[in-house]
Structure 1
Amino acid sequence: MAKLSFLAGFGAGYVLGSKAGRERYEQIRRAWGQAKENPQLQGLAGMAQARADAVVHSVKTRMGNETPR
């Protein structure tokens, strides 16, 4: 009897937890989609990418793997 009660409780917890998890996942996914379309965020991402490219180029130049610009 105790084992059956445990399994029933586990099953109910699993179903309720997975429903809450799915709702939260969908909420995060919608927020990410909205953030990706934000022009300010896109501008910041572009600046970060340009800075990262410059750092990589600088390191390659110092290591002798690439000619200076």
Structure 2
Amino acid sequence: MKGKILFIAGLGVGYVLGTKAGRERYEQIAAVAGRFWGSPLVQKQVDTVEGFVRDKAPDVAEFAGETVKKVVGAATGRGSTAAKRSAAAKKAAATRRANAARSQSDD
């Protein structure tokens, strides 16, 4: 509840300050932000981060899936079945990564 109150207060302060600054100042800030975002250095970093996320997304999804299976297996008493599925999921993920690496090297 405290976080919501602080968020709403922040919105109110931002609104008041924004209305006092006026549209002209907003346009100046937006122009500077646009130039910053469009600069080659920033876009290079954006591309780097996008590539990193694209490469790591399958690993994160696999990790999350395995963790959920372990928790469910422990909660339901089916841990050994979950472990077998986890091993199969790891093998499938490794195959997907190898295929993705091969397709990237072919391009």
Q: TM-score range by the shorter chain?
A: 0.5 to 0.7
State the 1:20 CA deviation: 1.9
Report the 3-state secondary structure (helix = DSSP H, G, I; strand = E; otherwise coil) of the residue aligned with 2:97.
coil
Aligned match of 2:97: 68
Instruction: Indicate the RMSD between aligned Cα atoms, in angstroms.
Output: 2.5
Identify unmatched segments of 5+ residues in structure 1.
1-16
Tell me, in whole angstroms, the C-alpha distance in 1 between the residues paired with 2:97 and 2:42.
31
Runs of 4 or more, structure 1, over 4 Å off, are none
Would you say the 8 A contact 1:36–1:42 is kept in 2?
A: yes
1:61–1:68 contact (8 Å) kept in structure 2: no
| Matches of 1:20 and 1:68, distance apart in 2 | 52
Q: Which residue of 2 aligns with 1:53?
A: 54
Q: Which has the larger radius of gyration?
A: 1
1:1-69 superposed matches below 5 A: 18=19, 20-62=21-63, 63=65, 64=89, 67-69=96-98
Please tell me the residue identity of whatever aligns with 2:97: P
Bigger shift: residues 34-43 or 55-64: 55-64
**Normalising to structure 1: TM-score of the pair?**
0.55
Aligned-residue offset at 1:68: 2.5
How far is 1:59 from its partner?
A: 2.0
Give the letter for the 1:32 counterpart.
A
